[in-house]
Structure 1
Amino acid sequence: MRSLLPLYQAITTVVVGDGQSTSFWHDIWLGEECLSEQFHLLQSHCKHTDQSVSDIVIGGLRRHLAPRVTTEALGELALVEALLSQVTLTATFDKRYSPFADHDGKLHTRDLYALLKSMSAPAGTTVSKFWSSCAPPRVQFFAWLLVHGQIQCKENLLKRRILMDSTCELCGGQPETTSHLILHCSFAASFWRSLGFDIPDDFEARDIHQLPRPASIAGSHFDTFVLLCCWHLWKRRNGITFRQESMSLRQTLQACKNEARLWSCRLPCGERNIAAHWCSLFSLAM
């Protein structure tokens, strides 16, 4: 069960009450990603990373840092402290939400079992590619949802009668299916073309593990590179849909480049130069 904790934290979000049962660094409670992913440099300067949200909000973050902090980490510290200044704890318990549970907390055991079974699939199978990639657990889970057609796109929400219309908000011309959103919407198509991909019109998101690799992209950790791109297309969509953000192709490629630098620490020590290769690809595409 302990080995499943990172995945559990990656696929759940927390609405903070008293902050006592929520991990400051590893739970997703402030933004769309855990703080250890958003502020990796700062976290690396922490003497311990098992603090609760309550520990940090009440006692402050600086007392948990090593004596010498780099300039880059100090920059991240300023950003975190600005975010924390807007956090107010209450007397209620923290509440955790999971895609495998109803609002009343009842688990969907069949879906959860399918997820756990896929994690133990033999090496070389389709599903094992996601779990063996160097992407963070939350992105690995997103990939699992992607190939099973279960991301919360408008077409899926229409089927569940949560929405009455499935028209893509990004292009306004087609239903927002999983494949349309990630591969064939006008913005997604231009994004992939800028990186040298030639994606057939009938290519489906469920086959993302078979996406043809351009000659300009190294074969090493190609699966992780593809997940990085899909993840940022999804994040861009959510930013536009829920927060009325505006993100150009250049800005999206820059976000991918920034993320590639963060993910470099997840690559094997002898292969971290592959992240520099990815960064150069994103730079050339801008």
Structure 2
Amino acid sequence: MATSSKDLEHFDDLLTCTICLETFKFPKYLPCLHTFCEACIQTHIVSSTQKEKESEGFKCPVCRKIVSYSKTAEKPETWASTLPTNYFVMSMLDKRAIHRSKKLCNSCQVNNKTQEAISWCTICEEAFCEQCDECHKSFKFSAKHKLVSIKDIQAGNSDFKISGVLSCEEHPEKIVEVYCMDHSKPCCTLCATLSHRKYENVTSIENVATGIKESKHTTNLGKTLDVRNKEIDEILENRKDCLSKIETTSENIIQEMSTLKREIIGHLDKLENKIKVELNSSKKTCRHAINR
């Protein structure tokens, strides 16, 4: 079932960088899976390494988990570019742009041109204008690619879905396509050729994912998540109660301070009047004694 443009609005927070608070530009994710704009995380890396005088890693801006770069000779200024791209977020951005009628041709953008896109290639994950669409269909390697009309996507008349591809940890420019059962690790075809060619239990991601939703492990994981969700709800409720108590306590303190302030001022006024009376009495006594 196609996702409506109204539903996509709920994903806006997920498409916002927590550093610049704007829509992601070239999203990169850390080992802890937190995602940031490439420029934002690069600025954070440089400032962190300079401030803490560290050259072996940096802390995630969100969870503060250390990201180690001790095994590389590259300078901190280049670390952000080596982080894996979050293709899932990029696909969500593409789909939102399509539904908002703001999607431009990706091929034309490479050549610094601006053309409105009319189709989307589900294989290349790119949008094309009318001219690039024709070229894409004419090339031998892309002739069989499935192209979807952007108008159909906007109208909800297609099965267009957000891609869930991830980049390989070892080769960020490659996407994960196979899974090594011996190492319990997803990897790209290049990894399978270089690092896992001696192992027989290497299969495609599609085969591994078959039946995963119905598996016992997934069922147990779902139950565990339900329990954790309930615990989180209880924690949130407790936090709300604490915040309410803090508000009530702070208001009581402010009222008590106001009352105490009035009492102190009233007491000082009484002391002032008493001292004035005593001074006037002393002045009269002194004058009377002098005039004798």
TM-score with structure 1 setting the length: 0.29
Q: Which has the higher strand share?
A: 2
Which one has a bigger Cα radius of gyration? 2
TM-score with structure 2 setting the length: 0.29
Higher relative contact order (Cα pairs below 8 Å, separated by 6+ residues): 1
